[in-house]
Amino acid sequence: MRVPIFMKTIRFRLTVWYAAVLLLLGIFIILWINLGFRFWGDAKPPIDDGTQTVEQRLASARARSRQNILTVSLISAAGTLVIGAAGGYLLSGRILKPVDNVASIAARISSTNLKERINHQGPQDEMKHLADTFDDMLARLDGAFEGQKQFIQDASHELKTPIAIALTNIEVMEMDSKATEKDYRHVMEVIKLSLDRLDRLSKKLLLLSVVEQNQPHESVVQINDLLQDISTEFGDIAKAAKLSIDLKPSSEQLPVAGDVFFLREAIGNLVDNAIKYSKPDTAITISAKKDSSQVIIEVRDNGIGIPKHDQQRIFDRFYRVEKSRSRDLGGTGLGLAVVKKIVENHKGTILLQSASGKGSTFTITLPLQQDISS
Amino acid sequence: MRILVTEDEKDLADAIAKGLRNQGYAVDIAYDGQQALDMIEISDYDLIVLDLNLPLVDGMEVCRQVRESSSRTGILMLTARSSPSDRVSGLDRGADDYLTKPFHFPELLARVRAILRREGESRDTILRTRDLVLDPNSQRCYFNDDEIKLTTKEFAILEYLMRNAGRIVSQEELLEHVWDDDANLFTHSVRVHVMNLRRKLDGSGAVDAISTVKGRGYIL
């Protein structure tokens, strides 16, 4: 049987219950007073012993009747109080029972058992809504906790590996009584590389934690100027790798509200990747243009590209298409995660278009600062 | 004893391999899971040092496939993941032991020795055949309490023969278990090393400890 939504609410049920209790009380009062009056309302006059006149006897009967009516009414009031209190107690207990259930389950759930859910069974009422909302919140919390746990595991894995490399190299040499100077030099080199790796990783981890705090951006950044700076900054590295940087700024000014340090980090990171994964004698294009109220920044390379199945996860922390190649090129697996977070902090989006062997294009879209005078 | 080191961090793999070779083991290296599976198919390894986080084929999968085809090969898992559930699943997939990175190299050596010991008949850390005593830990060899100075290769040959005492070991089997892939050798080199080993044993009084079974191999 289909019941209108409003009839499923606690408010409706409470209204019906109250009305029912009030009706019962009303009936009780009416019955009680009616019966009370019938039996005690008409007090008989005292027996005629000749000492009192008829008027006196009638007056005495009326006085006793009034007294009886008062008593009946007082009893009725007391009865109403008792029945009303008992009814209210039972009623509120009935209505509040699910609240108790939900509260006790919620109290049991702590950070260690976020997998548990209230899973409230019952009509689609306010209580169900509350319990479901709570469950949704738990699911989000659980996801965040899991993500954090995974991140810490991944980060510790990344930190332990260079330590293991350095430690093993040192200990193997220590045990080798015939170790030559060449061996020592090799181990020194390995230790240096491991320390470099730890250094890069700790810097990137720190940067990631800073950008994840979502700092407010204060100043106006002129994208054309920023791209010019970045292209100059990477010019020498690109030349060394036999690559050319093709800068295509917009003819209009492109002001964006933001933090120049973080935006330089984000776009610089994309250019750095483009250089690392490009084949010699190709060009890297950095361009910017205005599209209605948005600024579109593109970093395009003709490098090795990113396979389709990796594109979904490329912005995930510690995800690498080719671990060994990334490592050899000094990658930490955090670069694109940092880029994405910075872009999101600037209310922007980042998109990747790529195919294996066909190069990659990263497109950052940022909202244009409307009030140029500021 | 022949060992395969499977580890994608080149500097780590090379150092482990070097340390194991210094102890007289014959060591090959695989830098990814697929390479490891290919090498396992070709050679009969006594032990695999297996990293879990491998490119191409995951270490757990390598472990599973090794266990499917051979129960004899020892597996020592090596990983930076150290949660109890990781260790449990590693051991349940058939690993003999589990070591978390970063580790101390002497501990890795001790675990390698422990796994190799399990394969043999005896659980004793010291190998004994008649009056010949071999201590793989200190890399020393004694006959009647007199030490015999052996090269690492000679020591490895003797260790393999002692672990398989009473069984005929062919020259090809020695080549497989005592030399690694890089050693592009033929059974001739085995003969030369066995000859040198015999001369040293004879010189210390352990006369004719290694006998030759014509056309089949050696027996201790």
Which residue in A has a C-alpha nearest to residue B17's C-alpha?
A172
Whether residue A140 is contained in a domain is answered as: no
User: Does residue A212 or residue A205 have the better pLDDT?
Assistant: A205
A241 has a chain B CB within 8 A of its CB: no
Residue B200 has pLDDT above 80, yes or no: yes
Q: Does residue A196 sit in the same domain as residue A254?
A: no
Q: Give percent above pLDDT 70 in chain B.
A: 95
A87 Ramachandran zone, left/alpha/beta (phi>0; psi -120 to 50):
alpha
Task: Categorize the per-residue pLDDT at A182 as very low, low, confident or very high, splitting at 50, 70 and 90.
Answer: very high
Question: In this predicted model, what pLDDT tens digit does every residue of A300-327 receive, in sequence order?
Answer: 998 888 888 888 888 888 888 877 777 7
Interface size, chain A vs chain B, as Cβ–Cβ contacts under 8 Å: 67
A224 has a chain B CB within 8 A of its CB: no
Question: In this predicted model, what pLDDT tens digit does every residue of A49-100 receive, in sequence order?
Answer: 777 888 888 888 888 888 888 888 888 888 888 988 888 888 888 888 888 8
pLDDT in the model for residue B120:
61
Residue A209 has pLDDT above 50, yes or no: yes
Q: What is the four-CA torsion angle of B9, B19, B189, B159, rounded to 10 degrees?
A: -120
Residue B192 has pLDDT above 90, yes or no: no
Cis geometry, peptide bond prior to residue B102 (ω within 30 degrees of 0): yes
Contact call for residues A362 and A350 (beta carbons, < 8 A): yes
ipTM of the predicted assembly exceeds 0.85: no
Question: In this predicted model, what pLDDT tens digit does every residue of B5-23 receive, in sequence order?
Answer: 999 899 999 999 999 998 8
Of A153, A165, A176, the CB nearest to B12: A165
Whether residue A197 is contained in a domain is answered as: yes
Nearest Cα neighbor of B40 from B83, B76, B3, B14 is B3
Question: In this predicted model, what pLDDT tens digit does every residue of B56-70 receive, in sequence order?
Answer: 888 888 998 888 887
Q: Buried b / exposed e across A23-57, counting CB within 10 Å, b at 16+?
A: eebeeebeebbeebeeeeeebeeeeeeeeeeeeeb
Q: Does residue A241 sit in the same domain as residue A174?
A: no
Task: Categorize the per-residue pLDDT at A374 as very low, low, confident or very high, splitting at 50, 70 and 90.
Answer: very low
**CATH label of the domain that carries residue A285:** 3.30.565.10
DSSP B3: E
Measured CA to CA, the distance from residue B16 to residue B13 in angstroms comes to 5
Contact call for residues B74 and B118 (beta carbons, < 8 A): yes
* Number of domains present in the structure of chain A: 3
Residue A151 has pLDDT above 90, yes or no: no
Q: Does residue A220 sit in the same domain as residue A364?
A: yes
pLDDT in the model for residue A356:
83
pLDDT in the model for residue A371:
63
Residue A372 has pLDDT above 60, yes or no: no
Q: Does residue A165 sit in the same domain as residue A234?
A: no
Whether residue A137 is contained in a domain is answered as: no
Mean pLDDT of chain B: 85
Residue A163 has pLDDT above 80, yes or no: yes
Whether residue A15 is contained in a domain is answered as: yes
Please answer yes or no on whether A168 and B80 come within 8 Å at the CB atom. no
Q: Does residue A68 sit in the same domain as residue A27?
A: yes
Q: Give percent above pLDDT 70 in chain A.
A: 97
B58–chain A nearest CA distance, Å: 13
For the domain covering B2-119, report its CATH number: 3.40.50.2300
3-state secondary structure of B29: strand
Q: Does residue A287 sit in the same domain as residue A348?
A: yes
Q: Does residue A352 sit in the same domain as residue A224?
A: yes
Task: Categorize the per-residue pLDDT at A355 as very low, low, confident or very high, splitting at 50, 70 and 90.
Answer: confident
Question: In this predicted model, what pLDDT tens digit does every residue of B128-138 receive, in sequence order?
Answer: 777 788 888 78
Cβ contacts of B19 on chain A, cutoff 8 Å = 168, 171-172, 175-176
Q: Does residue A241 sit in the same domain as residue A344?
A: yes
Q: Look up the domain containing A314 and give its range.
A: 216-371
Q: Does residue A248 sit in the same domain as residue A285?
A: yes
Task: Categorize the per-residue pLDDT at A216 as very low, low, confident or very high, splitting at 50, 70 and 90.
Answer: low
Task: Categorize the per-residue pLDDT at A1 as very low, low, confident or very high, splitting at 50, 70 and 90.
Answer: low
Q: Buried b / exposed e across B142-161, counting CB within 10 Å, b at 16+?
A: bbeeeebebeebbbbbbbbb
Beta bridge partners of B141: B134, B148
Residue B107 has pLDDT above 60, yes or no: yes
Question: In this predicted model, what pLDDT tens digit does every residue of A118-142 receive, in sequence order?
Answer: 788 877 888 888 888 888 988 888 8
Residues A205-231 have a mean pLDDT of 85
Q: Which two tokens stand for residue A229?
A: 């700076």
Q: Does residue A365 sit in the same domain as residue A220?
A: yes
For the domain covering B127-219, report its CATH number: 1.10.10.10
Task: Categorize the per-residue pLDDT at B184 as very low, low, confident or very high, splitting at 50, 70 and 90.
Answer: low
Residues A19-39 have a mean pLDDT of 86
Whether residue A129 is contained in a domain is answered as: no
Of B12, B55, B80, the CB nearest to A323: B55
Q: Does residue A270 sit in the same domain as residue A328?
A: yes
Which residue in A has a C-alpha nearest to residue B8's C-alpha?
A324
Cα four-point dihedral sign B141, B146, B148, B149 = positive
Q: Does residue A169 sit in the same domain as residue A63?
A: no
Please answer yes or no on whether B11 and A175 come within 8 Å at the CB atom. no
Residue A185 has pLDDT above 50, yes or no: yes
For chain B, give every domain's residue range: 2-119, 127-219
